[in-house]
Amino acid sequence: MKNRLLGIALLLCLTSFAAVAGDDAAALVTIKDFKFVPQHITIKVGQTITWENREKRQYHSVWFEAQGEAEPEDYLFSEDTYERTFDKSGTFPYRCGPHPEMTGTVTVTE
């Protein structure tokens, strides 16, 4: 019983750090407690991800700095959303401009 509970707990932990969105699934990343949840997400080419700020009083951004993009000028305040459609496969790291310790990764597959 103890091993089974440990296995379930491990599975729950792993699913909170990575997510896979199916072809028709809406991909959502929430911003809460200074974290992107899930931190790592896998989607298919052509899918869109929505980031939603669920902080009560904090602003954030979604910055794909490694792709050579300029830091976004528009911050996401409470309940604001940002959407991005990925049209090519690859791994795309991102971070919050004002809070560089907040990082995430989008993996896009064929």
**Chain mean pLDDT for the chain:** 86
Rounded Cα–Cα distance for residues 36 and 51 (Å): 8
**Whether 50 contacts 36, CB under 8 Å:** no
List the one residue out of 73, 37, 39, 80 whose CA is nearest residue 58. 80
pLDDT tens for residues 30-76? Answer: 999 999 999 999 999 999 999 999 999 999 999 999 999 999 999 99
**Whether 51 contacts 76, CB under 8 Å:** yes
- Judge whether residue 13 has pLDDT over 70: no
* Single pTM value for the model: 0.78
Q: How confident is the model at residue 26, as a pLDDT?
A: 75
Check residues 26 and 98 and name the one with the higher pLDDT.
Answer: 98
Set out the domains of the chain in order of their start, with CATH numbers: 2-109 (2.60.40.420)
Rounded Cα–Cα distance for residues 64 and 103 (Å): 10
Q: How confident is the model at residue 100, as a pLDDT?
A: 96
